[in-house]
Amino acid sequence: MNKPPKKHPPSPSTCLATIDAKAVAALASTPANLTQLAQVLSKRHRMPAQVVQRILADAFELIEIGTLAHGRFVVRGFGMWRMRVASPRTGRNPRQGTPVHLATRALLTFAHGKDRRASFSELGLELAETNSAAGAPAAEAAT
């Protein structure tokens, strides 16, 4: 008895081609929110948007819980979320220019996985490590 061949997940460029072009353009032009992601995925998988939105919310909640519990959360091939502590420092009030004490704070950072970085390179895009809390480049390289 012959086994059917294994199905490999489609490449990112193939995935983008199967989603509604207008939805992809909308996601690419502005930061996406949970509702927009749910709408695109619900069309692609022919599921109610509300169900997809709950699934996405649960997935993000699991990432949050794992990151808080263990200091990091890894999705192999996609990337890693990590908690980083920013030391207290003296900043500057942008309006008056006076020194301001900034307390210690926790930052959530994301490092892209090698597979994601390679797939974006194929599309001619370069990914930078970002600090999810501020949207700025992360201060330390991901390991």
Q: How confident is the model over 46-77, as pLDDT tens digits? A: 999 999 999 999 999 999 999 999 999 999 88
Residue 142 pLDDT more than 90?
no
Residue 1 pLDDT more than 90?
no
For the chain, list the domains and their CATH numbers: 11-69 (no CATH), 71-143 (4.10.520.10)
Q: Which residues contact 123 (CB under 8 A, 6 or more apart)?
A: 12, 13
Position with higher pLDDT, 125 vs 8: 125
Position with higher pLDDT, 132 vs 98: 98
Mean pLDDT of 17-21: 58
Could you give the CA distance from residue 143 to residue 132 in angstroms, rounded to a whole number? 17
Residue 143 pLDDT more than 50?
no
